[in-house]
């Protein structure tokens, strides 16, 4: 090529470099390593640092999700070795806590007989959990867990109202096709996932805020609250006349979800929720409906909302547990499932 003009040499080498990068991308990327298509695009191959300063929770968290969209800690578990899928919304995901301080992380530390994976996705309701089977769990080869645990309630409050509208996350999608495509390209790209890892490592080494995701505690989703108005399950008084308090619309969703799990040869466990402002009418109805369903179907379920004694200072915002609250919730779950789920 020494007789070629310099710009042609540069052009040819540039094309060769692009071709080489494309080959590397196709070989080491995730383009052919999943069957989710445009589902779960923002939930796969994530690695980032969150930095936050809430009233009862501050610091940083390392947040990682693998190619199968499960939140992970230091080690991954192969699908065939997964015993329990622990599912829910952001209260299960707990992205502002380090993995070891989350409910799932603590449970994995406490027990040595079962491998539990965190399948929590922010904002997902029971409708999303229903859709997760066809669009997520059933597409993972060799995933045959013994248990599916659903820690639910807070994201289901709109479902018991007549004006509830479907949300994109409940179909495992983003809010627009453009966002789906962008997230799809990022989550499958070898180079982009390495860029995410690089940012994390740079923050951990230099503590430079530019490499972290800064969380604004004044954002509406996290909300203001006060200790005075926190209402425990015991103090809550339901003013309606129905007895028992069962929502038939929500009950239909529970029956469908239970049937999906049982038909797959797994067992199902429900765990009820209380929020960072305590119990309210909708959460009370949901909890009572869940427990009623469990009693009718003879299922092993935990009324955490009523019996775990979670208080105001166990949360850092409207809905999410801090480290202290997660320990309390995990201890309650482990103790009550020890003889049935976590036994040898």
For residue range 228-238, list pLDDT tens digits in order: 889 988 888 77
Q: Does residue 86 sit in the same domain as residue 14?
A: no
DSSP label of 84: E
**What angle, rounded to 10 degrees, do the helices at 103-110 and 323-337 form?**
50
What are the tens digits of pLDDT across the range 181-195? 999 999 999 999 999
Q: Does residue 114 sit in the same domain as residue 14?
A: no
pLDDT at residue 217 greater than cutoff 90: no
Question: What residues pair up with 63 in beta bridges, in sequence order?
Answer: 48
pLDDT at residue 8, rounded to an integer: 81
What's the whole-model pTM score? 0.93
Q: Does residue 195 sit in the same domain as residue 250?
A: yes
pLDDT at residue 7 greater than cutoff 80: no
d(CA 104, CA 138): 22
In a domain, 180, yes or no: yes
Token match 């991954």: residue? Answer: 76
Q: Does residue 149 sit in the same domain as residue 122?
A: yes
Encoded tokens for 46: 């994530």
Region of 153 on the Ramachandran plot (φ > 0 left; ψ -120 to 50 alpha; else beta): left
What is the domain extent for residue 60? 46-337
Q: Which of 171, 71, 175 lies closest to 128 in space, CA to CA?
A: 171
Q: What percentage of the chain has pLDDT greater than the value 70? A: 95
Q: Does residue 225 sit in the same domain as residue 190?
A: yes
What are the tens digits of pLDDT across the range 96-113? 999 999 999 999 999 878
pLDDT at residue 342 greater than cutoff 90: no
Q: Does residue 105 sit in the same domain as residue 217?
A: yes
In a domain, 194, yes or no: yes
CATH number at residue 277: 3.40.50.1110
Q: Does residue 148 sit in the same domain as residue 193?
A: yes
pLDDT at residue 244, rounded to an integer: 63
In a domain, 118, yes or no: yes
Q: Does residue 55 sit in the same domain as residue 18?
A: no
What are the tens digits of pLDDT across the range 239-274? 654 566 889 999 999 999 999 999 999 999 999 999
In a domain, 206, yes or no: yes
DSSP label of 211: G
Q: Which of 244, 306, 295 lies closest to 272 in space, CA to CA?
A: 306
pLDDT at residue 216 greater than cutoff 80: no
Q: Does residue 26 sit in the same domain as residue 125?
A: no
What are the tens digits of pLDDT across the range 119-177? 999 999 999 999 999 999 999 999 999 999 999 999 999 888 766 788 999 999 999 99
Mean pLDDT of 78-102: 97
Q: Does residue 229 sit in the same domain as residue 96?
A: yes
In a domain, 147, yes or no: yes
In a domain, 38, yes or no: no
Q: Does residue 137 sit in the same domain as residue 6?
A: no
Cα–Cα distance list, 312 to 5, 189, 278 (Å): 73, 42, 7
**What residue ranges in 45-186 does DSSP mark as E strands?**
46-54, 57-65, 84-88, 116-120, 147-151
DSSP assignment string, 256-279: HHHHHHHHTT-EEEEE---BTTB-
8 A C-beta contact, residue 40 and residue 173? no
8 A C-beta contact, residue 104 and residue 86? yes
In a domain, 342, yes or no: no
Q: Does residue 11 sit in the same domain as residue 130?
A: no
Angle at 136 (CA atoms; ends 132, 139), nearest 5 degrees: 140
How many domains would you assign to the chain? 2
d(CA 204, CA 206): 6
In a domain, 343, yes or no: no
pLDDT at residue 10, rounded to an integer: 83
How many H-runs (helices) and E-runs (strands) does the chain carry? 10, 7
pLDDT at residue 234, rounded to an integer: 84
């Amino acid at each position: 090529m020494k007789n070629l003009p310099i710009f042609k040499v540069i052009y040819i080498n540039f094309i060769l470099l692009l071709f080489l990068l494309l080959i590397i991308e196709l070989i080491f990327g995730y383009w052919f390593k999943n069957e989710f298509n445009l589902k779960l695009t923002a939930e796969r191959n994530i690695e980032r640092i969150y930095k936050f300063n809430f009233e009862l929770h501050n610091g940083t968290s390392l947040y990682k999700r693998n190619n199968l969209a499960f939140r992970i800690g230091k080690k991954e578990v192969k699908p065939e070795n997964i015993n329990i899928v622990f599912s829910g919304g952001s209260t299960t995901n707990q992205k502002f806590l380090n993995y070891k301080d989350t409910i799932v992380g603590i449970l994995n530390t406490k027990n040595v007989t079962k491998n539990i994976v965190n399948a929590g996705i922010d904002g997902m309701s029971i409708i999303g959990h229903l859709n997760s089977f066809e669009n997520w769990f059933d597409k993972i080869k060799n995933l045959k867990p013994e248990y599916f645990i659903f820690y639910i309630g807070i994201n289901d409050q709109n479902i018991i109202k007549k004006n509830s509208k479907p949300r994109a996350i409940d179909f495992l999608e983003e809010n627009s096709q453009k966002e789906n495509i962008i997230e799809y390209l990022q989550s499958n790209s070898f180079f982009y996932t390495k860029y995410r890892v690089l940012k994390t490592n740079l923050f951990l080494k230099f503590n430079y805020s530019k490499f972290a995701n800064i969380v604004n505690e004044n954002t509406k989703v996290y909300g203001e609250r006060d200790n005075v108005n926190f209402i425990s399950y015991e103090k809550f008084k339901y003013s309606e006349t129905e007895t028992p308090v069962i929502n038939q619309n929500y009950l239909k969703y529970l029956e469908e979800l239970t049937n999906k799990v049982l038909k797959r040869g797994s067992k199902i466990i429900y765990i009820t929720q209380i929020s960072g402002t305590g119990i309210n009418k909708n959460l009370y109805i949901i909890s009572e409906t869940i427990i009623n369903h469990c009693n009718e179907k003879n299922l092993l379920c935990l009324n955490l909302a009523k019996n775990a004694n979670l208080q105001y200072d166990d949360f850092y915002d409207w809905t999410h547990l801090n480290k202290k609250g997660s320990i309390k919730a995990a201890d309650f779950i482990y103790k009550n499932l020890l003889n049935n789920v976590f036994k040898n």
